[in-house]
Every structure is written in C-alpha cells, then in structure tokens.
Amino acid sequence: MSERVVLGLIENIVLLNNNQEEKVTARIDTGATTSSIDLNLAEKLGLKVSDKEKIVKSASGIEKRHMVFARVKIKDLMIEDYFTLADRHHMTYSVLIGQNILKQGEFIVDPLKEENQ
C-alpha cells in the first residue's frame, strides 16, 4: 500500500478548467458525501452546469442542486469529479471537499493537523 497523504480540516487547493486555475482555501469535510463549490467561483472558472442533480441534506434543510464537473489539485494529486453548486458567499470557504474527492485521493484527514503543515 502506498503512503497516504494526510490532510487537515483546512487545505489550500487549486481548481482548474481549461487554461484557468484558481487557488483557494477549502474546508475538508468527511461528513459530506459530495464536494461543493460556490456558484460565483464556478462561473468565474467557466465550469459548465451538467444535467446531473443531487439531493443534498444540510443544516439549511434538503434541496436539489445542480452539479459541475471540475478538476482539483490537492497536494500533488489531480482529481476530477462532480461538485454540487451552492451559494457559499456567506461561508468562510468557497469550496468544500467531501468524500467523493477524498476517497479518490485515498487521503487521511487529521483534525489536529495545522493548515498546510
């Protein structure tokens, strides 16, 4: 088994689309089944809304969200998958990394790890 990459609860990541890339600080959330991205950030990167939708249960209730397919670089790993679109402007982090991305990178999340340590 290869060495797993350890992430903290907050990590710097890079979102990519064509020739555009955006460095952002993301919240790592092992309780979220699907990753999420802010509507405005997705638009800025030119991410296309797919036909896929997902029912999401959050603290705000249950809602159906559209999805975008995006590439994300975490540490030195490039991962592609779907992100739900959400209005995250009122939240501290414009991107939430959930289980769909964490499983692909085979990451371990250590809540005691300091940001970018």
Query: How does residue 115 score in pLDDT terms, banded at 50, 70 and 90?
Result: low
Q: For 6-109, which CATH class?
A: mainly beta
Query: What is the pLDDT, as a whole number, of residue 117?
Result: 58
pLDDT reading at 13 higher than 90 = yes
Q: Which residues pair with 27 in a beta bridge?
A: 10, 96
Quickly tell me which residue has 């340590």 as its tokens.
117
Domain boundaries of the chain, sorted by first residue: 6-109
Q: What is the mean pLDDT of the chain?
A: 91
User: Within the chain, how many helices (H) and strands (E) appear?
Assistant: 2, 9
Query: What is the pLDDT, as a whole number, of residue 65?
Result: 93
